Chain A
Amino acid sequence: MTRFSRSRVAIAAAAALPLVLVAACSGSDGGTGGDGGGDGDVTELHVLDYYNNDPNKTVWQGVLDACATEVGVELNRESVPGGDLIAKVLQMSSSRTLPDVLMLDNPDVQQIAESGALAPLSQFGLDPGGIAEGVLSASTYEDELYALQPVTNTIALFYNTQTLAAAGIEPPTTWEELETAAAALTEGDQYGLALSAINTYEGTWQFLPFMWSNGGDEADIATPEVAGALQLWKDLLDAGSMSQSVVTWSQADVADQFSSGNAAMMVNGPWNFGTLAENAELEYGIVPIPAPAAGDTVVSPFGGEAWAVPQTGDDARMAVAAEFVQCLVGEDAVVEAAVGTNTVPTDPSLSDTVVEQVPNLASFAEQVPDLRARTGELGPEWPTQATAIYEAVQNALVGGMSPEDALAQAQNG
């Protein structure tokens, strides 16, 4: 009898072990606090963004708090790492746990809108105000506006003031000047130019101003205009004016190269001001990206994030969330965010106020009316073509293909 019962106990214990452990562990921790408020009074909004490091994190906390006070709610803010926001949003939408207010990188807005997870803002009567046309087009899907973007950024040409002065070179304004200047500034361990031709969307993003300004178009990249822009990059690389490592550098790496004096000029954006400021010896200036020829218009893509109201199914909360998003594109919020995070207002009429406080932003602010949306033409199809572009760039730069062949292969799959 004793043997029998002992065996029984052994079986039961062995089988139940995992369950017991689970119960014990989850008991000690407490569950996830649900914020399941009812339809009546909305006292709290769940906000999701990817501003997870400073200065963005803190500056946006201030902006969000101010709007929360204005709308009269508490905030439950969650910030996830940048590269993983979309995965998170997808998981949330499948488990029906979408936040009340969602920040999205602007080229992702249409993708998420297409899935049906976002509410059209017209149903709340939101007013886009003076936001530039190009910016609004990125937030629009099938004629409905799904998000509002308060601030934006783009890229320009940074140059090391001392290096250029010592060499007696003026900052270039055309492609020809760029090639000459970059060649002249290349000596010893120092390259004339650094940019990011990495095989991610960052590489595509850096190529766009060259491609667009030369009359290229993302719908069909197997054209002489796009090939011309790619030829410029290839010539710069073949001439030794930029390192072959450009194909592995992210924009953060490019800034690092520029800061440590390995490159006299770089293509980069204002989000690097903070990093560059840490190097006290560095003096730099910023000019727009050189145009194909004198007098041509430079067309750059715009970056930055837009704020949307997901379909949570709770109308009262969604209405309050919309009110909150409207506040985020108000003048106070925009100026505070722009100055704090080195971005420019999407509403050009607010630019002067910001540039007064951060003069370095001038070259970026003046581009705002001409900025073009990456998703303006292709919408949710953009990611496929963005991949084709960076693949063609890499094939031409280090894969031994001519720009024409590389682009034709990428375009035709």
Chain B
Amino acid sequence: MSAAVPIARRAAGDAAGRASKITTPRRPGHTILGVIIIAVMLFPLYWMLNVSLQPAGNASATPWLPLDLSFDGYRTALAEQGGNLVTSLIVSLGAVVFSLLIAAPAAYALAHFRFGKWVVVFLFAVLTTQMVPGIVVANALYSAYSDLGLLNTYAGLILADSAAGIPFSIILMRAFMMSIPASIVEAAYVDGAGPVRAFVSVVLPISRNALITSALFTFLFAWGDFLFALTLTTSESMRPITLGLYSYIGGFVSDWSPIMATAVLSSLPAIALLVLAQRYVAAGVTGGAVKS
């Protein structure tokens, strides 16, 4: 891994900054450009919304606007996919919690404890795990899960869906935690804290941005997972939304309007979560801007 560049951080200013919130500059030109960038990026999503509101049999030559409104897709989606959305939320949030619990201590240890060359070995092993195609993991897990009775359980899916999140979070959080000055942790030791308490009460709060970023991506990895959902669940009562969507695609027939409607509906709770999480990241920004 790359050597960490010492970054004199503003840990103290972080706390101070939260109290004295400064106002955001107006910069209308920036806002307009920002809106344009997002509009271009999100155009395919608009198209999805557009298709979801079109009557059937119109998917390939969709008009620019859904003037001929049809809510059939939403009716079907709401009736059939509500439970699957809840399943997806439980699994994704579970994977976030589980991944952070496993990854955060490891990332901290790799960033701050003196393990010598073992750090490199471990990180390289972590990196290697990211090279393994998902199918390989899913296939091997199936037989193990069926022996352990983990098929069709929340626990099973949460564990498997953390497969992307844990290695990713370790690598990402370690890169961020490298920049926490040792002197801050040192101060906690002087106050009589052990390594666990120093980690929980000093390191974790400072690393809030890294934690939230890792959490966001772990959530997204788990939310979008299709492979594990497919291989590790068999019952309709335990079915994430990605798999639910798939049930609209039959052997040779595809009914696109409920698919797109489900995709749109399934984004809503996740959007709420994203906005919520971004608030915290934004608070960190404000804090960082105010330097003591």
A: residues with CB less than 8 A from B are: 3, 6-7, 10, 14, 17-18, 21-22, 24-26, 28-29, 31-32, 50, 52-53, 56, 78, 80-82, 84, 87-88, 91, 94-95, 97, 105, 189, 202, 250-253, 255-257, 259-260, 262, 269, 271-272, 274-276, 278-279, 282
- Judge whether B57 and A260 touch: CB under 8 Å: yes
B: residues with CB less than 8 A from A are: 55-61, 94, 98, 101-102, 105, 139, 142-143, 146-147, 149-156, 158-159, 194-196, 230-231, 234-235, 243, 246-255
CB-CB nearest in chain B for A80: B234
- Provide the residues of chain A in CB contact with B230, threshold 8 Å: 81, 84
Contacts A18-B102, A272-B253, A279-B56; A95 near B155 (Cβ below 8 A): no
- Judge whether A256 and B247 touch: CB under 8 Å: no
CB contacts between A and B, total, < 8 Å: 118
- Judge whether B149 and A26 touch: CB under 8 Å: yes
CA distance A97 to B94 in the complex (A): 29
CA distance A189 to B101 in the complex (A): 57
CA distance A21 to B101 in the complex (A): 10
Chain A interface secondary structure, helix, strand, loop or mixed? helix
Q: What are 14 A-B interface contacts by the 8 Å CB criterion?
A: A3-B194, A25-B94, A25-B155, A26-B150, A29-B154, A32-B153, A32-B234, A52-B250, A81-B249, A82-B249, A257-B60, A262-B60, A279-B57, A282-B57
- Judge whether B57 and A275 touch: CB under 8 Å: yes
10 smallest beta-carbon distances between A and B, as pairs: A25-B155, A259-B57, A252-B254, A82-B251, A26-B155, A278-B56, A53-B250, A95-B146, A279-B57, A10-B196
- Judge whether A251 and B234 touch: CB under 8 Å: no
B59 interface neighbour in A18, A97, A256, A282, Cβ under 8 Å: A256
Min CB distance B25 to A, Å, is 45
Contacts A7-B194, A32-B152, A94-B143; A250 near B56 (Cβ below 8 A): no
- Judge whether A253 and B56 touch: CB under 8 Å: no
CB-CB nearest in chain B for A56: B250
CA distance A202 to B196 in the complex (A): 59
Min CB distance A254 to B, Å, is 10
- Judge whether B253 and A53 touch: CB under 8 Å: yes
Contacts A29-B155, A82-B250, A91-B142; A53 near B194 (Cβ below 8 A): no
CB-CB nearest in chain B for A24: B155
- Judge whether B155 and A31 touch: CB under 8 Å: no
A91 interface neighbour in B143, B147, B252, B253, Cβ under 8 Å: B143
- Judge whether B247 and A260 touch: CB under 8 Å: no
- Provide the residues of chain B in CB contact with A272, threshold 8 Å: 252-253
- Provide the residues of chain B in CB contact with A95, threshold 8 Å: 142-143, 146-147
- Judge whether B143 and A81 touch: CB under 8 Å: no
Min CB distance A6 to B, Å, is 6
CA distance A252 to B158 in the complex (A): 34
Quick one: which of A22, A25, A269 has the most chain B CB within 10 A?
A25
- Provide the residues of chain A in CB contact with B243, threshold 8 Å: 81
- Judge whether B156 and A26 touch: CB under 8 Å: yes
CB-CB nearest in chain A for B251: A82
CA distance A251 to B254 in the complex (A): 9
CA distance A95 to B59 in the complex (A): 41
Contacts A29-B153, A252-B253, A257-B60 known; 12 new A-B pairs at CB < 8 A: A10-B194, A18-B98, A22-B155, A32-B151, A80-B234, A81-B243, A81-B246, A91-B143, A105-B251, A252-B252, A269-B252, A275-B255
A271 interface neighbour in B142, B153, B253, Cβ under 8 Å: B253
- Provide the residues of chain B in CB contact with A278, threshold 8 Å: 55-57
Contacts A6-B194, A18-B102, A25-B155; A31 near B253 (Cβ below 8 A): no
- Provide the residues of chain B in CB contact with A202, threshold 8 Å: 252
Min CB distance A49 to B, Å, is 11
- Provide the residues of chain B in CB contact with A21, threshold 8 Å: 98, 101, 155
- Judge whether A97 and B146 touch: CB under 8 Å: yes
CB-CB nearest in chain B for A255: B253
CA distance A6 to B197 in the complex (A): 11
Min CB distance B280 to A, Å, is 24
- Judge whether A26 and B153 touch: CB under 8 Å: yes
A274 interface neighbour in B61, B196, B248, B253, Cβ under 8 Å: B253
Min CB distance A105 to B, Å, is 8
CA distance A199 to B184 in the complex (A): 60
- Judge whether A81 and B231 touch: CB under 8 Å: no
CB-CB nearest in chain B for A6: B194
Min CB distance A195 to B, Å, is 13
- Provide the residues of chain B in CB contact with A255, threshold 8 Å: 253
- Judge whether B61 and A28 touch: CB under 8 Å: no
- Provide the residues of chain A in CB contact with B156, threshold 8 Å: 26
- Provide the residues of chain B in CB contact with A256, threshold 8 Å: 57, 59-60
B149 interface neighbour in A10, A32, A94, A257, Cβ under 8 Å: A32
- Provide the residues of chain B in CB contact with A251, threshold 8 Å: 252
- Provide the residues of chain B in CB contact with A28, threshold 8 Å: 154
Quick one: which of A21, A189, A259 has the most chain B CB within 10 A?
A21
Min CB distance B189 to A, Å, is 12
- Provide the residues of chain A in CB contact with B250, threshold 8 Å: 52-53, 56, 82, 271
CA distance A178 to B161 in the complex (A): 52
- Judge whether A22 and B159 touch: CB under 8 Å: yes
- Provide the residues of chain B in CB contact with A274, threshold 8 Å: 253
CB-CB nearest in chain B for A29: B153
Min CB distance B76 to A, Å, is 10
CA distance A9 to B59 in the complex (A): 60
CA distance A375 to B255 in the complex (A): 30
CB-CB nearest in chain B for A258: B57
CA distance A278 to B57 in the complex (A): 7
- Judge whether B251 and A271 touch: CB under 8 Å: yes
- Judge whether B253 and A253 touch: CB under 8 Å: no
- Provide the residues of chain A in CB contact with B154, threshold 8 Å: 25-26, 28-29
Min CB distance A236 to B, Å, is 19
B58 interface neighbour in A78, A84, A260, A276, Cβ under 8 Å: A260
- Judge whether B102 and A17 touch: CB under 8 Å: yes
Min CB distance A9 to B, Å, is 9
CA distance A7 to B231 in the complex (A): 40
- Provide the residues of chain B in CB contact with A22, threshold 8 Å: 155, 159
- Provide the residues of chain A in CB contact with B102, threshold 8 Å: 17-18
- Judge whether A17 and B142 touch: CB under 8 Å: no
- Provide the residues of chain B in CB contact with A17, threshold 8 Å: 101-102
CB-CB nearest in chain B for A7: B194
CA distance A274 to B143 in the complex (A): 39
- Judge whether B248 and A53 touch: CB under 8 Å: yes
